């Protein structure tokens, strides 16, 4: 059978084998051999419910192999089809049963087997109206989903049975099929084939399914909500899908003709009940049974379930149970609650949460007290709020992302081809669609704030305009999307930082107990450091010390230093900078309160600090009291053809040693000052962009001599650790040259990626979209570490360094340190810790734990 698996045009013998296999069609009983891999998740779930003695109607499971054979043209023989139909009143429902519930499947078809004979019998038993309604809705659904007739002709709820039967005959030139076995065969075939369609395939692939994911089918006796007394059908769940808090919600419709209505209160309502009483009040014993079933299902299925039930004169039939749909916040709370209640283990709770989902909880929200320029309201499809410039295409969203600009992707509706654009956008807005439309499903999956079905907006993608309420917005105009409320706002609204609850910290505490990889924060400012600490970063793994000089007030001092002509002048300028740096470092040391702090010495080419236009140079000449010509000459002299490969990193230290001397002094003086305040720790000094062992040797001497001087000056003793960043391919190959001289290595995977590919970090965005579109790169290697190439450089470097010094500490501090896939690689490569931007620290802690489990 395995050999048949991928064959689209399965050979006849394979088809027959698949259908004759004992697992092909199995009656679901407590002892039957039903498993999720063979028959799908729904079949297995029903078996568990049956084993719990819940009142589940008779059901059969059709294996995925058999469904494949059916799609390829085979069909179970009449006897077996008839057996599936023969259990109850001769009517069955057919439901999809994919291996993973998230992958969805073709829509359920109910009342298969219905024909004139059964209709007549039901009319006698239940009354003409109920029987007509059942038959009519079956013909309609069969016409649309099985015979694939025009849905518009069969969607009228007011049509009569006679009208739809006539319409069917008119369209197909044949009377409506009366043979139940033939109906069932056609339903099975159409569902099996729908699963193979391109849209279904793309949709499930977006949810992580493999391209040829298996689909089983379940054929179940119909339980009808017909008859006198408390009768109807509904769903019930025991947690809130948005908050994850315990809460009984659901919907219930009395009789099948009733209209379903969502209920917000704590109880289920009998909508047809003239007194408007709740199910809990009307039929307390039924309600109590449902709650009891819910509690049992949660324990046995180890999951929060939504139970679908049918009541017939107070008799309950459980026809299905699915995992409660949930957003990230609810998912986290549910997993933690299940583990706290001892139903699952903490490590299972950890595995149930996508690391990326944590960033949903960290999402911004629109400040409810701030003014809102409300443009339109749509369906709040994915929570969180974001502001960005309007873009009308997925490509434009990717281009905006590459430029580092947040965008709002505005589409009439989204198609699978838009997925990349949705990943790139800060938020998504569609004119059409609903809660389960493509945009909504995808956006929730990836945690992008999203509003769908904002029907009062009108989009013209060609002229790149969006019209709403007499106002026109163009590409580049700014919108705020409040995916939590469904409101589209003009301009940039005030956004609030998210609030986290106890489940978040509980899950991460469990993750911390399991993970072996350390997680530090990349912090250049006290704010970054504080945020990192809130998220339990174990220290600072990268402080880009030059970033402390990018602010207005600091720039003049830096520029004065750069313009110094002689080492002496430079030293004077550096003396002005020294106290600023010392205060900066002391502030970080105080915040981190004894945790490790890695200061990276200046990295960027100096001209980054200089103005580039004439006006800026004129201002600079004025502030430095120099002739303009001197300033332009100096700026020109400093300019480089390829600054990323020019005088930057440790090369600055070699060429202009006074700069690193000043920085080392600032670090050590701050260390002594901190220790006098009772904060004892060992600072870490890191050299950027090294490529040669001799560079390290020179800088090591320089730093050690500064340390010795300060020990003498301050009469204080202190220690420090020296490290290098591995950012050039040569450095990665020659880590053994550094391992003898330093205490730690930290991979700067941003530069290492840039240099391994020969691909500019700053320019790659221009064509990255094309590269990904054409499948040259599967992912942007600046987002997800290229494990094959850059990863190999990393592993070679780790091995060679450890061969010299098995205890050397190895870190990754490039952007990849906060990306789950790259973190998993770091764990496997034996990296000791990663360091990432503050808001990604929780993601890194969880991803690290998952890779350890
Ligand atoms: C790196 O190159 O990965 C790194 C962390 O340094 P920067 O991003 O500052 O170049
Ligand atoms: Mg770098």
Each residue's pLDDT tens digit, 161-218: 999 999 999 999 999 999 999 999 999 999 999 998 888 888 888 888 887 899 999 9
850 Cα–ligand 1 center, Å? 26
> In the predicted model, is pLDDT for residue 495 greater than 60?
yes
Local structure of 846: helix, strand or coil: helix
Index of the ligand 1 atom closest to the CA of residue 544: 9
Q: Which is nearest to 522 in space by CA: 538, 500, 506?
A: 538
Index of the ligand 1 atom closest to the CA of residue 747: 3
753 Cα–ligand 2 center, Å? 10
821 Cα–ligand 1 center, Å? 19
Q: Taking residues 485-508, what's their average pLDDT?
A: 88
**Which fold, 382-496?**
Glucose Oxidase; domain 1 (3.50.30)
Ligand closest to the CA atom of residue 689: 2
Q: Quote the CA–CA distance of 259 and 634 in Å, as a whole number.
A: 78
600 is an annotated ligand-binding site residue: yes
How far from the centroid of its chain's Cα atoms is residue 777's Cα?
Answer: 20
Q: Which is nearest to 833 in space by CA: 844, 843, 842?
A: 844
Q: Which residues' Cβ are closer than 6 Å to ligand 1?
A: 542, 544, 603, 727, 748-751, 813-814
For a pocket test of ligand 1, which of 750, 782, 812 has the largest count of ligand atoms closer than 8 A to its C-beta? 750
Give 29's contacts (C-beta < 8 A, 6+ positions apart).
Answer: 47, 50
Q: Quote the CA–CA distance of 198 and 417 in Å, as a whole number.
A: 12
Would the CATH topology of 2-115+177-221 be identical to that of 232-323? no
For a pocket test of ligand 1, which of 523, 725, 837 has the largest count of ligand atoms closer than 8 A to its C-beta? 725
Q: Which is nearest to 43 in space by CA: 24, 68, 62, 71?
A: 62
pLDDT: which is higher, 555 or 124: 124
Long-range contacts of 703-710 (CB under 8 A, 24+ apart): 703/660, 703/664, 706/661, 706/664, 706/665, 706/668, 707/664, 707/668, 709/665, 710/665, 710/668, 710/669, 710/672
Q: Which is nearest to 276 in space by CA: 254, 308, 255?
A: 254
For a pocket test of ligand 1, which of 688, 745, 819 has the largest count of ligand atoms closer than 8 A to its C-beta? 688
- Class of domain 2-115+177-221 as given by CATH: alpha beta
Q: Which of 75-84, 429-438, 507-516, 779-788 has the lowest mean pLDDT?
A: 429-438
Local structure of 518: helix, strand or coil: strand
Tokens representing 10?
Answer: 């399965």
Q: Ligand 1, atom 3: nearest CA belongs to which residue?
A: 748
Tokens representing 110?
Answer: 């109910």
Q: Which of 358-362, 649-653, 679-683, 737-741 has the lowest mean pLDDT?
A: 358-362
Index of the ligand 1 atom closest to the CA of residue 754: 2
Ligand closest to the CA atom of residue 749: 1
Q: Taking residues 376-400, what's their average pLDDT?
A: 90
- pLDDT of 592 reads 98
Place of tokens 């929780």: 842
Tokens representing 409?
Answer: 């992707």
Index of the ligand 1 atom closest to the CA of residue 814: 3
pLDDT: which is higher, 349 or 19: 349
750 is an annotated ligand-binding site residue: yes
Ligand closest to the CA atom of residue 602: 1
Q: Ligand 1, atom 6: nearest CA belongs to which residue?
A: 748
Q: Ligand 1, atom 4: nearest CA belongs to which residue?
A: 748
pLDDT: which is higher, 501 or 805: 805
448 Cα–ligand 1 center, Å? 27
Q: Quote the CA–CA distance of 78 and 818 in Å, as a whole number.
A: 57
List the beta bridge partners of residue 311. 232, 316
Q: Ligand 1, atom 10: nearest CA belongs to which residue?
A: 751
Give 735's contacts (C-beta < 8 A, 6+ positions apart).
Answer: 726, 745, 797, 798, 800, 801
Q: Which DSSP category does 404 fall into?
A: T
Tokens representing 465?
Answer: 């305009």
- pLDDT of 156 reads 84
Q: Taking residues 700-722, what's their average pLDDT?
A: 98
The CA-atom distances, in angstroms, between 299 and each of 52, 303, 335 are 11, 7, 13
- Which pLDDT band, with edges at 50, 70 and 90, does 764 fall under? confident
Q: Which DSSP category does 682 fall into?
A: -
727 is an annotated ligand-binding site residue: yes
751 is an annotated ligand-binding site residue: yes
Please provide the DSSP assignment of 233-268 as one string. EEEEEEE-TTT--EEEEEEEEETTTSPP--B-SSS-
| Phi/psi of residue 311, nearest 5 degrees | -110, 125
116 Cα–ligand 1 center, Å? 74
> In the predicted model, is pLDDT for residue 519 greater than 90?
yes
Give the chain's mean pLDDT. Answer: 89
Share of the chain above pLDDT 90, in %: 61
Q: Quote the CA–CA distance of 389 and 372 in Å, as a whole number.
A: 17
**Which fold, 232-323?**
D-amino Acid Aminotransferase; Chain A, domain 1 (3.30.470)
434 Cα–ligand 2 center, Å? 44
| Distance in Å from the first CA to the final CA of the chain | 33
Ligand closest to the CA atom of residue 522: 1
Q: Which of 364-378, 430-444, 614-628 has the lowest mean pLDDT?
A: 430-444
604 Cα–ligand 1 center, Å? 10
- pLDDT of 415 reads 67
Q: Quote the CA–CA distance of 205 and 820 in Å, as a whole number.
A: 19
Give 183's contacts (C-beta < 8 A, 6+ positions apart).
Answer: 112, 113, 114, 115, 142, 177
Burial of 242 (0-12, 13-18, 19+ CB in 10 A): middle
pLDDT: which is higher, 68 or 768: 68
Q: Which DSSP category does 144 fall into?
A: I
Q: Ligand 1, atom 1: nearest CA belongs to which residue?
A: 748
Q: Quote the CA–CA distance of 507 and 587 in Å, as a whole number.
A: 31
- pLDDT of 325 reads 86
Ligand closest to the CA atom of residue 544: 1
pLDDT by residue (tens digit) across 259-315? 333 333 334 555 445 556 677 777 889 889 999 999 999 999 999 999 999 988 788
- Domain spanning 515-605+640-852 has what CATH number? 3.20.20.60
Residue 83: which region, alpha, beta or left (left: phi > 0; alpha: psi -120 to 50)?
A: alpha
> In the predicted model, is pLDDT for residue 2 greater than 80?
no
For a pocket test of ligand 1, which of 813, 826, 834 has the largest count of ligand atoms closer than 8 A to its C-beta? 813
pLDDT by residue (tens digit) across 715-726? 999 999 999 999
Index of the ligand 1 atom closest to the CA of residue 688: 6
Please count the other Cβ atoms lying within 10 Å of the Cβ belonging to residue 552: 6
Q: Which of 169-173, 557-561, 647-651 has the lowest mean pLDDT?
A: 557-561
Q: Quote the CA–CA distance of 122 and 133 in Å, as a whole number.
A: 11
- pLDDT of 4 reads 53
Q: Which is nearest to 768 in space by CA: 424, 391, 398?
A: 398
- Which pLDDT band, with edges at 50, 70 and 90, does 1 fall under? very low
Query: Which secondary-structure segment (H or E) carries 68?
Result: helix 64-71
Q: Ligand 1, atom 8: nearest CA belongs to which residue?
A: 750
Tokens representing 671?
Answer: 């260390």
What ipTM did this prediction achieve?
Answer: 0.99
477 is an annotated ligand-binding site residue: no
Index of the ligand 1 atom closest to the CA of residue 603: 9
Residues labelled as active-site residues: 438, 813
> In the predicted model, is pLDDT for residue 69 greater than 90?
yes
751 Cα–ligand 2 center, Å? 5
Please count the other Cβ atoms lying within 10 Å of the Cβ belonging to residue 284: 11
Q: Which is nearest to 384 in space by CA: 362, 365, 406, 409?
A: 365
List the beta bridge partners of residue 482. 385, 487
Give 633's contacts (C-beta < 8 A, 6+ positions apart).
Answer: none
Q: Quote the CA–CA distance of 714 and 669 in Å, as a whole number.
A: 8
What is the domain partition of the chain in residue ranges? 2-115+177-221, 232-323, 382-496, 515-605+640-852, 607-639
């Amino acid at each position: 059978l395995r050999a048949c698996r991928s064959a689209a045009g399965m050979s006849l013998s394979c088809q027959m084998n698949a259908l004759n296999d004992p697992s092909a069609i199995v009656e679901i009983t407590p002892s039957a051999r039903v498993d999720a891999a063979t028959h799908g998740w729904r079949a297995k779930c029903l078996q568990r419910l049956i084993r719990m003695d819940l009142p589940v109607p008779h059901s059969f499971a059709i294996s995925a192999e058999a469904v494949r054979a059916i799609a390829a043209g085979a069909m179970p023989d009449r006897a077996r089809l008839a057996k599936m139909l023969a259990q109850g009143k001769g009517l069955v429902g057919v439901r999809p049963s994919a291996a993973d519930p998230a992958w969805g499947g073709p829509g359920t078809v109910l009342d298969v087997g219905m024909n004139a004979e059964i209709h007549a019998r039901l009319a006698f038993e239940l009354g003409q109206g109920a029987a007509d309604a059942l038959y009519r809705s079956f013909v309609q659904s069969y016409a649309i989903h099985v015979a694939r007739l025009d849905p518009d002709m069969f969607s009228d709820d007011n049509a009569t049975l006679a009208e739809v039967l006539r319409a069917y005959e008119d369209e197909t030139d044949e009377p409506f099929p009366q043979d139940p076995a033939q109906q069932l065969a056609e339903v099975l075939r159409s569902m099996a084939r729908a699963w193979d369609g391109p849209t279904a395939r793309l949709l499930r692939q977006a949810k992580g399914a493999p391209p040829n994911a298996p689909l089983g089918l379940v054929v179940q006796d119909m339980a009808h909500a017909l008859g006198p007394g408390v009768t109807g059908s509904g769903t019930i769940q025991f947690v809130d899908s948005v908050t994850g808090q315990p809460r009984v919600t659901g919907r219930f419709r009395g009789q099948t003709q009733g209209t379903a209505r969502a209920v917000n209160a704590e109880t289920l309502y009998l909508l047809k009940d003239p007194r408007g009483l709740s199910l809990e009040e009307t039929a307390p014993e039924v309600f109590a049974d449902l709650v009891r079933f819910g509690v049992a299902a949660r324990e046995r299925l180890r999951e929060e379930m939504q139970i679908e039930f049918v009541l017939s004169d107070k008799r309950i039939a459980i026809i299905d149970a699915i995992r409660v749909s949930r957003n990230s916040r609810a998912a986290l709370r549910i997993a933690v609650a299940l583990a706290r209640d001892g139903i699952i283990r903490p490590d299972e709770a950890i595995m149930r949460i996508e690391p990326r989902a944590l960033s949903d909880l960290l999402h911004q929200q629109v400040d409810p007290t701030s003014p809102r320029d409300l443009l339109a309201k749509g369906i709040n499809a994915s929570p969180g709020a974001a502001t960005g410039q309007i873009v009308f295409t997925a490509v434009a969203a990717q281009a905006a992302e590459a430029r580092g600009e947040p965008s709002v992707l505005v589409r009439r509706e989204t198609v699978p081809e838009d997925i990349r654009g949705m990943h790139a956008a800060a938020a998504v807005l569609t004119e059409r669609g609903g809660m389960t439309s493509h945009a909504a499903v995808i956006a929730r999956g990836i945690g992008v704030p999203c509003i769908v079905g904002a029907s009062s907006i009108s989009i013209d993608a060609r002229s790149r305009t969006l019209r709403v309420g007499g106002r026109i917005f163009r590409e580049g105009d700014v919108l705020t999307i409040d995916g939590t409320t469904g409101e589209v706002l003009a301009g940039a609204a005030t956004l609030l930082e998210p609030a986290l609850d106890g489940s978040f910290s509980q899950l991460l505490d469990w993750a911390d107990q399991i993970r072996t990889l350390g997680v530090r924060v990349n912090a250049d400012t006290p704010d970054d450091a504080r945020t990192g600490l809130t998220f339990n970063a174990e220290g600072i793994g990268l402080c880009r010390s030059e970033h402390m000089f990018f602010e207005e007030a600091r720039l003049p001092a830096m520029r004065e230093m750069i313009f110094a002509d002689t080492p002496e002048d430079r030293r004077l300028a550096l003396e002005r900078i020294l106290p600023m740096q010392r205060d900066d470092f002391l502030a970080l040391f105080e915040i981190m309160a004894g945790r490790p702090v890695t200061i990276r010495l200046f990295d960027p080419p100096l001209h980054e600090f200089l103005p580039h236009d004439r006006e800026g140079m004129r201002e600079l000449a004025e502030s430095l009291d120099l002739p303009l010509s001197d300033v332009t000459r100096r700026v020109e002299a400093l300019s480089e053809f390829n600054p990323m490969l020019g005088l930057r990193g440790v090369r600055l230290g070699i060429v202009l040693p006074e700069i690193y001397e000043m920085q080392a002094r600032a670090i050590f003086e701050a260390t002594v000052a901190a220790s006098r305040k009772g904060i004892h720790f060992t600072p870490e000094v890191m050299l950027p962009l090294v490529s040669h062992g001799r560079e390290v040797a020179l800088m090591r001497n320089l730093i050690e001599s500064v340390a010795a001087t300060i020990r003498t000056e301050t009469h204080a003793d202190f220690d420090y650790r020296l490290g290098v960043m591995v950012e050039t391919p040569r450095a990665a190959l020659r880590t053994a040259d550094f391992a003898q001289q330093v205490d730690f290595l930290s991979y700067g995977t941003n530069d290492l990626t840039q240099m391994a590919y020969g691909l500019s970090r700053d320019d790659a965005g221009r064509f990255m979209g094309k590269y990904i579109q054409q499948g040259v790169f599967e992912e942007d290697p600046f987002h997800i570490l290229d494990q094959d190439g850059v990863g190999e450089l990393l592993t070679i470097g780790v091995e060679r360094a450890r061969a010299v010094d098995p205890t050397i500490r190895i870190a990754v501090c490039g952007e990849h340190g906060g990306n789950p896939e790259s973190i998993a690689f770091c764990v496997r490569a034996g990296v000791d810790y990663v360091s990432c931007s503050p808001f990604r620290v929780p993601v890194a802690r969880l991803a690290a734990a998952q890779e350890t489990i």
